[in-house]
Chain A
Amino acid sequence: MEYIAIAFGAIFVNNVVLKQFYGLCPFLGVSTKKSSALSMGMAVTFVITFSTMIAYALYSQVLVPNDITYLSTITFILVIASFVQLVEMFIKKFSSSIYSALGVYLPLITTNCAVLGVAIDTTVNSSKLFNTTTPGFWQVTVYAVGISIGYAFVIFLFSAIREEMDAYPIKRNWQGIPIALIVAFIMAMIFYGFGGIV
């Protein structure tokens, strides 16, 4: 039950894009087509889940026992950058069809603040998320999976709306980013509705 609550909270209530404002650059940048939004969502899900697990393990097994938590920002960004590189090489070698779908998005993920943001939130700032300062490994993993599903879900929804919007006449000064921001505003308002559930 506890895990369901964490997952639901991560997907809907504390939605990574609409509530916490992580990962907005790709959210606005690659959400003009449904196919590219789906690929981005999948790539982000994969990277967030695994890099959060690695970052959590490093934080609790290496940084905390040695009392060097001030190095966490540098450690996490290096973990993420090298993990993304590794994933890219791995996919390139084993599946060219996945590589052609995800390839261009992988390097972008290093500077997606959702990845580093979730890694920091589940370790250094964990007291704000969970009721304890030392959340367990599975709590963190479920949270990371939930966050990334929430990201993929919202970016796909958003791209579907933007594709439809192309058919309508929009005033020149509202085209592109401004109208997309208004759509995001309405989506964020809708997601407030989930607030009372958990």
Chain B
Amino acid sequence: MAKKQKSLGEIFSAGLFKQNPTFVQFLGMCPTLAVTGSVETALGMGAGVLFVLVMSNIIISLIRNFVPNEVRIPIYIVVIASLVTILEMVMKAYVPDLAADLGTFLSLIVVNCLILGRAEAFASKHGPVKSALDGLGMSLGFTGGITLLAFFRELFGAGSITIWGDLGIQLIPESYQMGILVQAAGAFLVFGILVAQINKIKFAREDAQSEVA
């Protein structure tokens, strides 16, 4: 073993912070910007990605030794597309409102680079338990990232946070709201500012470390 084996905890936490799909790797940008108009849709998208990513990682790591190398990508895509179809049917049956809000982006989980990326980079090389943990960590990191973005957009754009039923608390009065933030363009602005602030913290930490060393 040339490379040091990672512990299960490290695999799980990589997706949450160090390799965060949203803020560090910039994977799955389309849903990140498109469904973060409200916290509710962001959480729904996160749950969908969680299901598909964990299941696809498990299935792909189970079949990894039977799949010929040349056709692995089409096979991964078929596995992912089948899982997304299952998810679409379940969501349309039990949470039709949420499915309608997510719209095309529910089907577009198929082409979320995060899922195919993890299948290729992790699940095709590791066992099912590790792959499941990796999928769980990555998708929780993704959900956390988009929910944070949605939180700021909804808070400053609509003035209150609505999760499954209006709480009726107006945190920011009407005349101070920035309506542009919940519209399409605002997603770019809020995401850009958030990434810049996270980079600032990251660089400050790196500088402190290099001074010690």
Contact = CB atoms under 8 A, between A and B. Distances in A.
Contact of B30 (A25, A70, A78): A25
Interface in B185-204: 185-189, 191-193, 195-197, 199-200, 203
A125 B103 contact: yes
B interface, over-half SS = helix
Contacts of A70: 85, 88-89
A24 B110 contact: no
Interface residues of B, number: 42
A101 B79 CA distance: 32
Given A73-B85, A77-B110, A111-B113, A182 B189 contact: yes
A72 B193 CA distance: 38
A85 to B, nearest CB: 9
Interface stretch (A15-23, A35-43, A47-55, A144-152): A15-23
Interface in A88-140: 110-113, 115-117, 120-121, 124-125, 128
Interface range for A: 35 or more
A185 B110 contact: no
A184 interface: yes
Contact of A116 (B32, B103, B107, B203): B107
A177 B195 contact: yes
B104 A117 contact: yes
Contacts, number: 119
A27 B29 CA distance: 10
B68 interface: no
Contacts of B29: 21, 24-25, 27-28
B206 to A, nearest CB: 11
A181 interface: yes
Nearest to B103: A125
Given A81-B74, A116-B107, A179 B192 contact: yes
B98 to A, nearest CB: 16
Interface of B: 26-27, 29-30, 32-34, 73-74, 77-78, 81-82, 84-85, 88-89, 103-104, 107-108, 110-113, 116, 180, 184-189, 191-193, 195-197, 199-200, 203
